[in-house]
Amino acid sequence: MATNPAVKTTTKPLSKLKEEICDIGRRIYNKGFAAGNDGNISFRLGPNEVLCTPTMVSKGFMKPSDLCIVDMEGNQIAGERKRSSEILLHLTIMKERPDVNSVVHCHPPHATAFAVAREPIPQCVLPEVEVFLGDIPITKYETPGGQKFADTVKPYVKTANVLILANHGTVSFGETVEKAYWWTEILDAYCRILMLSRDLGRVTYLTKQETKELLDLKQKWGYSDPRLDKGMENCDICANDVFRSSWGNAGVTRKAFDAPPPMGADPQRAAAAPAAVAPPAIDYDVLVKAVTEQVCRELGIGAA
Ligand SMILES: [Zn+2]
């Protein structure tokens, strides 16, 4: 096959990459994101070589010698164990995104609950989620395993780094195994916080101005966001505007969370449920700065 010049190959030794995949396997298993033998992880070694996890092995107990190598069509070219049955999902994402070297697929319970409920993920709630995740699409359901299932990610794969797979789980991707996994962990924590705060009786949304500040920060750091590309014009930014046109096709409707109030006309803080008491005064400038600095420290990137 033709070599895509945009694909960056790694200089890391194969043994180190295998250890990194086993390490992320332990993390997804220990977090409860991959019950039994669920989940799969891959890393692009070169233009036509992808390292991947085997089928029928717990991701919490993998050894480097368990891993397989496939070509970009999914044919196994190395490894004792049989490659993951979901490798076509990984390869489809890598073909669409030359910048992506690693894909992580698993079934984190809170994000998967949204996948089963077909409930869109509310936005404009947590600063770091706004900056690092953006809008999260839910794909159309297909029986897992084949190319038809893998193709369900295609409409979204260029505008998001983590997707929810209807009635199934999540898939996230990035330049390294660590970064590919990172989106999944942030998304599941966010889904859990949304469910807990809703159970407490109120989800408070950031105002349009507060969200715009976060998107400006995101742009300053070099992260793209479709909402910024659209100039936020005629866009009720807190209402999943980016992927809303796909909801009908995927059977997604808003039920568990109220629609955020329209933000264009009312600059006041918007609350989805009636507030019995005034929300606590939060200095969002201080909060955003603290949260983003901590995340950047952990990622090893400058926030200044
Ligand atoms: Zn799965």
CA of residue 219 to ligand 1 center, whole Å: 33
| 107 CA distance to ligand 1 middle (Å) | 6
pLDDT at 235: 47
In 3D, which of 71, 99, 92 has the Cα closest to residue 144?
92
Where in the sequence numbering do the catalytic residues fall? 86
* In a shared domain, residues 56 and 165: yes
Residue 213: CB atoms within 10 Å? 17
Q: CA-to-CA distance for 96 and 118, rounded, in angstroms?
A: 25
CATH of the domain at 165: 3.40.225.10
Q: How far is the CA of 169 from the centre of ligand 1 (A)?
A: 6
| Residue 278 within any structural domain of the chain | yes
Question: Cβ distance 194 to 258 under 8 Å?
Answer: no
Q: Which residue, 228, 216, 220, is CA-closest to 304?
A: 220
> What tokens does 115 get?
């996948």
Domain boundary among 165, 200, 235: 200
Domain boundary residue, one of 178, 200, 222: 200
- 257 three-class SS: coil
Q: Burial of 201 by CB count in 10 Å (0-12 exposed, 13-18 middle, 19+ buried)?
A: exposed
Residue 34 sits in which domain range? 14-200
The two beta strands, 204-205 and 76-78, are: unpaired
List, as ranges, residues with CB under 5 A of the ion ligand 1.
Answer: 169
- pLDDT, averaged per 10 consecutive residues of the chain (304 residues), comes to 59 94 98 96 97 97 97 96 95 97 98 96 88 88 95 94 97 96 96 96 87 83 66 49 74 81 47 38 54 65 51
**Model pLDDT, residue 77:** 96
5 occurs within a structural domain: no
C-alpha of residue 79 to centroid of ligand 1, in Å: 21
**Domain tally, the chain:** 2
Model pLDDT, residue 61: 98
Task: Choose among 124, 163, 122: nearest CA to 288.
Answer: 124
Identify whether residues 176 and 252 lie together within a single domain: no
Distance 16 CA to ligand 1 centre (A): 25
What's the pLDDT score for residue 248?
Answer: 81
- CB atoms inside a 10 Å sphere around CB 298: 9
Q: Final residue of a domain: which of 170, 200, 230?
A: 200
Please indicate, yes or no, whether residues 54 and 196 belong to a single structural domain of this protein: yes
Please give the backbone phi and psi of residue 293, each rounded to the nearest 5 degrees, phi first.
-65, -40
